Amino acid sequence: MKKNLLKRGVALLVSAGAQFALFVIIARELGADLFASFSVILGLGLFAGTVLGFGSGTHVLRLGDGDPSSRSTISALIWLRAISTAVIVAVIGVVLSLRDEYVWLAVSLVCVELLSDLVQGLLAGRGRVGTASVLLLAQRLLPLLLYAAGAVSGDGVFWLIFGTVGVATFLLATMLSMAGFDVQIRTTVLASRGYWADSLAASVSQLDVVAVASGFSAATTGSYAAAMRISSPVNIVTSALIFVLVPALSRENNELKRKALFVSARNLTVIVLLGLLSVAVFVPLGDVAVGILGSTYDNVGPLFSAFLVAAGLSGVSRVYQAAIIARGQVGLGALAVFAGGLVGLALILLVAALEIAEAWLGLAPIIAQVCILVGLLTITSRAEGFRKWAGGGTL
């Protein structure tokens, strides 16, 4: 477990930095107004992918490939992901056309994120954490390297799109290479309902930018989206716990060892939360963010601080989600995550309706994550059998 966490941790730190650089580049190249449009497309595309993906990325974490039923389920999930991703691309192409660079960027990133979610889950579920980590590094770094090379001649955005499309193509080929043709789609969909509910609940936050766009200017939407995206690398790091912790907890039969795994992961995320909270309070992030993103994002500072704190809270929540998923009761946590997401959306719409200062939008992600964490804590402390499963005591 510790070795896997170390491998995954190193890869995720590098890939988190790469994703931060990627969104900074896109934000600077597009400016606040176009970045708002880009982010709306990205958010809707990712949400649609979750709706049509039936929780595949989470489901495969608990599936090995040793028995025929698991192989059939894995194949069905792969084909569902491939077909649904193609449908999303086709719909965006028909509605918006693919003439503008920001649309190409959004579509290609939607494909990368949706395909990577399943590929990473497939590899982690089989214990191939090292392979998953190398692949994650490659998919984050290749577009950046191509952008850097193209920027010399002034074609950086073109090569960034080219690299992202290339990564999506490679992920699709990798995913399909693990698929068979003996599939039971209906059976798989029915068996995936809990995972689908959990993934859908978590994806509600992708609609936050859409809600902001409905009540605020493009500049404000762009700043909100930029704060959300450039803080997202923190979520990449904490996501490692899901991919490593779920298989480890699922396989561990010793209650005391299972408890130790859980407590170690939880304590790590609490330390991360305290560190992010300190940064948000004591570092002048407004000046830093504007310096990084450009002058069109002049109101991004408070929002960036808020998203860092929310990301820290989300990391702690993910440990409890991992415990719920590993126990095979994935649907238990979906309600808490879904309720928290709805609270966030409602707060955004309330701030818009009251026409108060845009900085108040930063409360939405923080309060949403607090609601999620409280809900998950309540579930894991009261659910029948959870304490015994985790080695006694309290979670």
Give every CB contact of residue 155 below 8 A, 6+ residues apart in sequence: none
Six-digit token pair at 11?
């890869």
Give every CB contact of residue 5 below 8 A, 6+ residues apart in sequence: 240, 244
Give every CB contact of residue 235 below 8 A, 6+ residues apart in sequence: 311, 314, 315
Write out the chain's pLDDT in tens, 395 residues: 555 556 666 777 788 788 889 999 999 889 889 999 999 999 999 999 988 888 777 777 766 555 556 778 888 888 989 999 999 999 988 888 777 888 999 999 999 999 998 888 888 777 777 787 788 888 889 999 999 988 877 788 889 999 999 999 999 998 898 888 877 778 777 777 777 877 888 788 889 999 999 888 888 999 999 988 888 777 766 666 666 676 677 666 667 777 777 888 888 888 989 998 998 888 887 778 888 888 888 778 888 889 999 999 998 988 888 887 777 666 677 788 889 999 999 999 999 888 787 878 989 999 999 999 999 888 887 765 666 555 444 44
CA distance 139 to 153: 23
Q: How far is CA 369 from CA 111, 157, 161, 189, 338, in A?
A: 26, 34, 33, 29, 11
Q: Give the ranges where 54-192 is alpha helix by DSSP (H).
A: 56-59, 68-96, 101-125, 129-151, 156-177, 185-191
**Any idea where the domains of the chain sit in the sequence?**
2-389
Q: Which residue has the tokens 């994703």?
A: 19
DSSP helix/strand/coil, 184: coil
Q: How far is CA 360 from CA 58, 349, 367, in A?
A: 33, 11, 11
What value, to the nearest 5°, has the Cα angle with vertex 185 and ends 182 and 186? 135
* H helix and E strand count, the chain: 17, 0
Q: Identify the pLDDT of residue 393.
A: 46
CA distance 284 to 274: 17
Q: Identify the pLDDT of residue 343.
A: 94
Q: Check residue 294 and give left, alpha or beta (phi > 0: left; psi -120 to 50: alpha).
A: left
End-to-end C-alpha distance for the chain, whole angstroms: 19
DSSP helix/strand/coil, 223: helix
CA distance 378 to 201: 17
Which one-letter DSSP state was computed for residue 284? -
Burial of 350 (0-12, 13-18, 19+ CB in 10 A): middle
Element (H, E) at 21: helix 2-53
Q: Are 324 and 332 in contact (CB under 8 A)?
A: yes
Q: Identify the pLDDT of residue 168.
A: 93
Burial of 3 (0-12, 13-18, 19+ CB in 10 A): exposed
Q: Identify the pLDDT of residue 252.
A: 66
CA distance 192 to 80: 12
Q: Provide the angle, in degrees to the nearest 10, between the axes of the packed helices 301-326 and 232-251.
A: 10
Q: How far is CA 179 from CA 122, 172, 174, 191, in A?
A: 11, 11, 9, 18
Q: Are 313 and 364 in contact (CB under 8 A)?
A: no
CB atoms within 10 A of CB 20: 19
CA distance 370 to 365: 9
What pTM was estimated for this model as a whole?
0.81
Q: Identify the pLDDT of residue 345.
A: 92
